[in-house]
């Protein structure tokens, strides 16, 4: 309990640093505000959001993809080889002045060279270094949000993660934002995706300290069962919220009313985003995520063995897959008679694959898990020889991502192609079975390299079917 009490005291004071005029001016000078505003304006006011929300979403994307860098262990500055964690180093006076009470020692696995990595806690310093893990990310990002005029909270999870909450006047509620994951309004991702066993999730701002734990769960009783010394913790939070010496009577009334509304909404309607699909954590190396148990347990499918059977058809058979609906639609002789949920349900083999939903960009696709090589195969078996085939398999690649396609007869394995449209499908004429395989990889080492290969990328609200097999008999 002492550790949590200390964290409450430290974070309550820390968020006041975001209010310093010097820091806020530095933020404005650092961000490419005009470019971010222009991009946000192009987003319009879709999905019931205003410019206020679209601009923040664009800032979140920019922060993750262009501004801040994740650090597990830095590569060696001498030979470029990977490093490992060594014994911690003593902080210098300069380190301490920027809040770095801990200094990591990254030791080269090849030449043994040592590299210092101070864990800075000063949001102003982080605007310069632009690197770290979730602590540095959430710290700097929350400060940026405050400097941009957003009502922002720094959110502390006692099971070792931090993120941000923003109050949206348009939505009239607090919105979860995780800059590490570029995640917007997905509070259940930690419990349902990362499989975290939450206990206390506490939000801090210049105005208040709030226990928001139940916003992040579908099972409040589970959280309650993990808590100890609950009375002492709640008393501590209450003591932090003595507004008399800081706020006018009008401001106190506003905060009290807003807090009451927030708590009522959390308790009566827990689990914003229930029913959505959540994968494991994306930020950090695979080994680091696995060591923390945050890779999730549903982010990729084990090998399966499902066959697409044409059944007893006379003239035609069609199977289509909609990523937005995550369903297959099967037609026999022109009549749509079957729908099958989940991309893996008709996959013959699936290795390290998951369905990714980008709520910020309103897109959906099949992706590979982390930096691993991945593949997926569909097998079709027919009740009579194929007369002709028309097959569509679309994908998108970015940076160094690679996708290779093959269409194989059982007795004639074929070569792979970078585009499925390059495959000669006349070889299927007369066949009664065949397999289609997509293999995905990327030599990139960035944390988001897995995103560089995307199967069937489509609009989340669309009805496109970029996977389609049409057979005539």
Residue 468's beta-bridge partner residues?
320, 392
**For strand 453-459 and strand 395-397, is the pairing parallel, antiparallel, or unpaired?**
antiparallel
Residues in the chain: 473
387 sits in the region (left: phi over 0; alpha: psi -120 to 50; else beta) called alpha
CA dist 40 and 61 (Å) reads: 11
Residues 157, 178, 360, 408: which is the catalytic one?
A: 178
What six digits make up the tokens of 401? Answer: 């991502």
Report angle CA 451, 33, 130 to the nearest 5 degrees: 55
Reduced to 3 states, what is the DSSP secondary structure of residue 118? strand
First to last CA, the chain: 71
Q: Which candidate in 73, 134, 145, 382 is catalytic?
A: 134
Name the helix (H) or strand (E) containing 379: strand 374-381
Report the C-alpha gap between 197 and 343 in whole angstroms. Answer: 28
- Cα torsion through 352, 380, 465, 340, rounded to 10: -80
- The pair of three-digit structure tokens given for residue 68, joined into one six-digit string: 């801040």
State how far the Cα of 20 lies from the Cα of 143, in Å rounded to an integer.
10
* 247 is known as an active-site residue: no
Q: Which of 161, 176, 300, 452 is catalytic?
A: 161
Q: Which residues contact 473 (CB under 8 A, 6 or more apart)?
A: 313, 314, 315, 316, 317, 382, 384, 385, 386, 387
- Separation of alpha carbons 163 and 400, rounded Å: 30
Rounded distance between C-alpha atoms, residue 98 and residue 54, angstroms: 32
Per the annotation, the verdict on 312 as an active-site residue is: no
Residue/partner pairs of 45-53 with CB below 8 Å, 24 or more apart? 46/362, 47/362, 48/171, 49/170, 49/171, 50/170, 52/168, 52/169, 52/170, 53/168, 53/170, 53/171, 53/175
Whether 161 is catalytic is yes
With residues binned 3-state (H G I as helix, E B as strand, rest as coil), the percentages for the chain, rounded to 5, are 35, 30, 40
Q: List own/partner pairs for 112-119 with CB under 8 A and 24 or more apart.
A: 113/76, 113/77, 113/78, 113/79, 114/86, 115/74, 115/76, 115/77, 115/83, 116/89, 117/71, 117/74, 118/91
Q: How many angstroms separate the CA atoms of 62 and 277, rounded?
A: 24
Catalytic positions, written as ranges? 134, 161, 178
């Amino acid at each position: 309990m002492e550790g949590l009490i200390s964290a409450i005291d430290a974070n309550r004071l820390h968020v006041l640093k975001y209010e310093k005029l010097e820091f806020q001016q530095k933020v404005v000078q650092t961000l490419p505000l005009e470019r971010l505003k222009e991009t946000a304006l192009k987003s319009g006011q879709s999905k019931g959001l205003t410019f206020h929300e679209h601009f923040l979403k664009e800032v979140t994307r920019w922060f993750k993809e262009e501004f801040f860098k994740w650090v597990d262990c830095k590569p060696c500055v001498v030979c470029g080889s990977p490093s490992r964690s060594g014994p911690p180093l003593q902080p210098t006076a300069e380190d301490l002045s920027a809040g770095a009470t801990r200094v990591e020692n990254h030791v080269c696995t090849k030449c043994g060279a040592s590299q210092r990595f101070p864990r800075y806690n000063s949001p102003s310093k982080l605007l310069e270094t632009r690197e770290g893990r979730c602590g540095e990310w959430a710290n700097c990002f929350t400060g940026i949000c405050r400097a941009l005029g957003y009502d922002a909270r720094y959110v502390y999870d006692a099971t070792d993660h931090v993120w941000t909450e923003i109050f949206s006047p348009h939505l009239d509620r607090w919105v979860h934002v995780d800059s590490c994951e570029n995640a917007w309004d997905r509070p259940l991702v930690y419990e349902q995706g990362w499989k975290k066993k939450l206990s206390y999730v506490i939000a801090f701002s210049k105005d208040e300290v709030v226990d928001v734990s139940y916003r992040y769960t579908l099972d409040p009783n589970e959280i309650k069962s993990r808590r100890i010394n609950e009375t002492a913790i709640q008393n501590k939070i209450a003591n932090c919220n003595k507004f008399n010496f800081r706020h006018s009577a009008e401001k106190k009334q506003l905060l009290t009313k807003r807090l009451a509304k927030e708590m009522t909404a959390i308790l009566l309607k827990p689990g914003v985003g229930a029913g959505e699909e959540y994968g494991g954590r994306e930020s950090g190396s695979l080994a680091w995520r696995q060591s923390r148990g945050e890779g999730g347990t549903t982010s990729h499918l084990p090998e399966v063995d499902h066959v697409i059977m044409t059944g007893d058809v006379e003239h035609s058979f069609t199977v289509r897959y909609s990523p937005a609906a995550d369903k297959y639609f099967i037609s026999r002789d022109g009549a749509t008679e079957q729908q099958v949920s989940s991309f893996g349900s008709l996959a013959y083999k699936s290795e390290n694959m998951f369905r990714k939903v980008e709520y910020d960009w309103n897109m959906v696709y099949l992706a590979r898990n982390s930096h691993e090589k991945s593949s997926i195969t569909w097998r079709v078996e027919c009740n009579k020889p194929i007369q002709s085939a028309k097959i569509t398999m679309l994908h998108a690649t970015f940076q160094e991502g690679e996708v290779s396609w093959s269409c194989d007869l059982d007795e004639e394995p074929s070569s792979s192609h970078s585009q499925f449209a390059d495959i000669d499908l006349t070889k299927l004429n007369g066949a009664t079975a065949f397999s289609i395989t997509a293999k995905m990889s990327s030599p990139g080492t960035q944390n988001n390299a897995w995103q560089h290969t995307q199967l069937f990328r489509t609009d989340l609200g669309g009805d496109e079917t970029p996977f389609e097999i049409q057979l005539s008999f």
